[in-house]
Chain A
Amino acid sequence: MPWYYRVLLILNIAYCCVGLMTKKLPAWGMFAKVEATDFHLVDAQGLPIEINSYLPVGAYLTSKKAALPVVQFICEKNQTRAPLMFSESISGFKINLPIGKCDAKL
């Protein structure tokens, strides 16, 4: 086998090992850990805003950390409906997004 195939294989295995150990690389840990989530986003009138309507089909919000940038995006697009309230009912997490302030962090 030519040497460059061996190099590619070694790099490949190294990437997989680093991904497994550090969790910093995507590697092949697809859907290894998914949180049960129940997200709600409501506007100033208490009317719900459907988070999934701002995401492509197949985009899974597997954690609060994944959801917050999406909420920030929705907030910026819906300033006329601010302040918005984002919550996750299983963990009890809540965050208020006042007018002009869409910086959503854990």
Chain B
Amino acid sequence: MQSFDLTSTKAERWFYGFLSAALVSCVVEDVICGIWKIHTGQYFPWRHVPIVPLYPAPVLLIEWGFLFLSAWMIALGKNRRLGSLIGAVTLLVSLTQRYSNHRSLIVIVLIYLAVSSAKHLRFAYQMIRYQLILVYLFSALAKIDAGFLSGETLSAIGHNVRGAMLPDSWVRAILMSSASRPLAWLTVVAELGMPILLLKAPMVGFGLVLLLHCSFSLMMPAIWPFTFVMIAMAALFLRDFQAVE
């Protein structure tokens, strides 16, 4: 009988691979988006937690170094528990400099891995699966509550977007067209349906997670860490197609 608790070796490899990619992309995006200039005073301290001082720019290099170290340890299986702890602590510190939902989600995943011994790793995977369900569910509920289904928010995002991987004019054309309302509904339906698909038809669900989040990342800049961590979490829903005891 197939057990939901068991995760295939391939799924685990994908999970750790995409989680490492999430950590690396945090650094890459910091560099591309000009976060250094926040710490030199040239840019506004965007989403900075005011009770903690902004650290000098060279400290960012230390932060990035630890994130790379964490990614390397997790990807290669070199003491993943310690690698997760290093990544979690580094990201927690970085959250005081600029808050982001993406990083806080990665922190949650890393904390589950850091507190779990090898014996309890399957519980960590279970908690991470619950976390993905919670993110989709509450994201959809927040959207419904805020009137997202009218399409006006998508339209506004299209109006405000700059620096996406797709040309800004394409993003505007998609999000500010008459398709904004159906796309809004599609987004919420996808967020509500994704957990169900991942539970009932994991490969289909995983494919849709890839499609949904990669399309978000093409249309909006600086969200690749979120894309990678969501894909990582979705990988934990995959399991061996052979019957297991």
Contact = CB atoms under 8 A, between A and B. Distances in A.
Interface of A: 1-2, 4-5, 8-9, 12-13, 16, 19-20, 26-38, 52, 54-62, 69-70, 73-74
Contacts of A59: 33, 44, 46-47
Describe B's contact surface by its main secondary structure.
helix
Interface centre among A1, A31, A52, A62 (most CB of B within 10 A): A31
Nearest to A53: B43
Contact of A58 (B29, B38, B112, B135): B29
A34 B101 CA distance: 16
B46 A55 contact: yes
Contact of A55 (B43, B99, B142, B145): B43
Chain A to chain B: the 7 pairs with minimum beta-carbon distance, closest first: A58-B222, A29-B142, A33-B146, A36-B156, A32-B146, A57-B33, A32-B142
Contacts of B131: 12
Interface of B: 29, 32-35, 37-38, 42-47, 99, 101, 104, 108, 112, 115, 120, 123-124, 126-127, 130-131, 134-135, 137-139, 141-143, 145-148, 152-153, 155-157, 159-160, 162-163, 220-223
A7 to B, nearest CB: 11
A28 B44 contact: no
Contacts of B108: 12
Given A2-B120, A29-B146, A32-B143, A58 B163 contact: yes
Nearest to A70: B44
B156 A34 contact: yes
Interface centre among A12, A54, A56, A74 (most CB of B within 10 A): A56
